[in-house]
């Protein structure tokens, strides 16, 4: 009798586990796509469930924290730092930066997650306002190197459009903290090289990517969906 009860329990648990496994499988399949991802999207690390334009639109309209309040991400911290503090560097004092509120000189390792306070080193923390400024005044940020031919080509292409607001260009070779910033960008965007073009905090790739988008007539629409006024010059 004991053996029969044990076998019944084992059968019941097997059926339960099978049912759970089936539900999980069906759940993962329900959101799948039948189309394959274009090569230029694969190169910038996007999944087949999204397009750059869709991600940019989602980033621009994100209200996931309260009514009309954007979700704060580490990439916003970096973009705030390079736009709001053009004269400061992440390694400005013997390889460290003084951050109000952290109580000491902070050594920034771009390979690890960074406290948002580092990106607002004067101690201010109105991040909802900062993200609003980024989205309205700096929707398109190009991390570049002034001597890089690919960066020059990307900037030349963007210059053929009349963009408002104009692209914010960060020339990394003119900054002592360039290696730190590139490590941060590699970790957050999956792209270690320049140019690294960010639209509403989303990397849309480099020179080859935007050239392909332009050739297909898709770049203008993407920029417009990212909040820029676009006129082809």
CB-CB neighbours of 139 under 10 Å: 23
What are the boundaries of each domain within the chain? 1-32, 39-74+130-232
Answer whether 56's CB lies under 8 Å from 222's CB.
yes
What is the model's pLDDT at position 23? 57
Answer whether 119's CB lies under 8 Å from 130's CB.
no
Its pTM stands at 0.74
SS3 73: coil
- Residue 82 to residues 86, 88, 177, Cα–Cα distance (Å): 6, 8, 11
> What is the pLDDT tens value at each position of the chain, 233 positions in all?
555 665 666 667 676 767 666 655 555 444 433 333 333 333 334 433 445 655 555 555 554 444 456 689 999 999 999 999 999 999 999 999 999 999 789 999 999 999 999 999 999 999 999 999 999 999 999 999 999 999 999 999 999 999 999 999 999 999 999 999 999 999 999 999 999 999 999 999 999 999 999 999 999 999 999 999 998 76
What is the model's pLDDT at position 48? 36
From the candidate CATH numbers 2.40.50.140, 3.40.50.2300, 3.40.50.880, 3.40.30.10, the one assigned to the domain spanning 39-74+130-232: 3.40.30.10
CB-CB neighbours of 107 under 10 Å: 13
Instruction: Please give the backbone phi and psi of residue 93, each rounded to the nearest 5 degrees, phi first.
Output: -120, 95
């Amino acid at each position: 009798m004991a053996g029969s009860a044990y076998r019944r329990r084992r059968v019941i648990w097997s059926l339960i586990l099978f049912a759970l496994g089936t539900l999980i499988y069906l759940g993962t399949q329900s959101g799948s796509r039948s189309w394959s991802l274009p090569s230029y999207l694969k190169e910038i690390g996007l999944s087949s469930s999204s397009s750059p334009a869709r991600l940019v639109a989602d980033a621009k309209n994100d209200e996931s924290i309260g009514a009309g309040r954007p979700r704060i991400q580490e990439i916003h911290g970096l973009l705030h730092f390079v736009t709001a503090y053009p004269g400061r560097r992440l390694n400005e004092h013997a390889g460290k930066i003084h951050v109000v509120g952290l109580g000491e000189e902070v050594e920034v390792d771009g390979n690890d997650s960074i406290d948002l306070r580092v990106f607002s080193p004067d101690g201010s923390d109105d991040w909802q306002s900062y993200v609003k400024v980024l989205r309205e005044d700096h929707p398109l940020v190009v991390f570049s190197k002034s001597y890089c031919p690919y960066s020059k080509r990307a900037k030349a292409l963007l210059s053929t459009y009349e963009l408002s607001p104009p692209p914010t260009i960060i020339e990394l070779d003119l900054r002592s903290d360039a290696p730190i910033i590139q490590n941060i960008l590699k970790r957050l965007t999956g792209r270690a090289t320049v140019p690294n073009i960010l639209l509403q905090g989303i990397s849309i790739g480099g020179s080859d990517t935007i050239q392909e988008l332009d050739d297909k007539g898709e770049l203008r629409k993407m920029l417009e969906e990212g909040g820029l006024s676009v006129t082809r010059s």
